Amino acid sequence: MDELLKFPREIRLRDGQGQPTSEEYIIPLNAKKKVLEVLYPFATAPALEEERYDLHEGKKFSVADFKVVREHQMNLLVSPYYYGSGGSVIDWMPAHFGDE
């Protein structure tokens, strides 16, 4: 179980009984770098100015547009396309993947 981050959350999905199943943290731009560094699961977090390619969505995005969602008592680092196609940080590829 991950601790709650100290940012407000917005309910994005509910189950059949109306209970929240997914919440998105509202993270101000001036806190995004720190949040990315803390949650990024690999060696070095990319810069906010970098581009990545979301394998699920098949589109590029600016790292600064990442989202953090809370599901199943976990904080998940995801692409800005998460609610459309489900891309999490493990699906972020270097931007040139989208050039093929």
Please give the structure tokens belonging to residue 79: 């692409």
Q: Is the entire prediction scored with pTM above 0.85?
A: yes
Please give the structure tokens belonging to residue 48: 């906010």
pLDDT at 99 > cutoff 90: no
Q: What is the pLDDT of residues 21-53, one digit of tens each?
A: 999 999 999 999 999 999 999 999 999 999 999
pLDDT at 100 > cutoff 80: no
Closest listed residue to residue 78, CA positions, set 21, 14, 34, 35: 35
* DSSP-based three-state secondary structure for 84: helix
Q: What is the pLDDT of residues 51-97, one digit of tens each?
A: 999 999 999 999 999 999 999 999 999 999 999 999 999 999 999 99
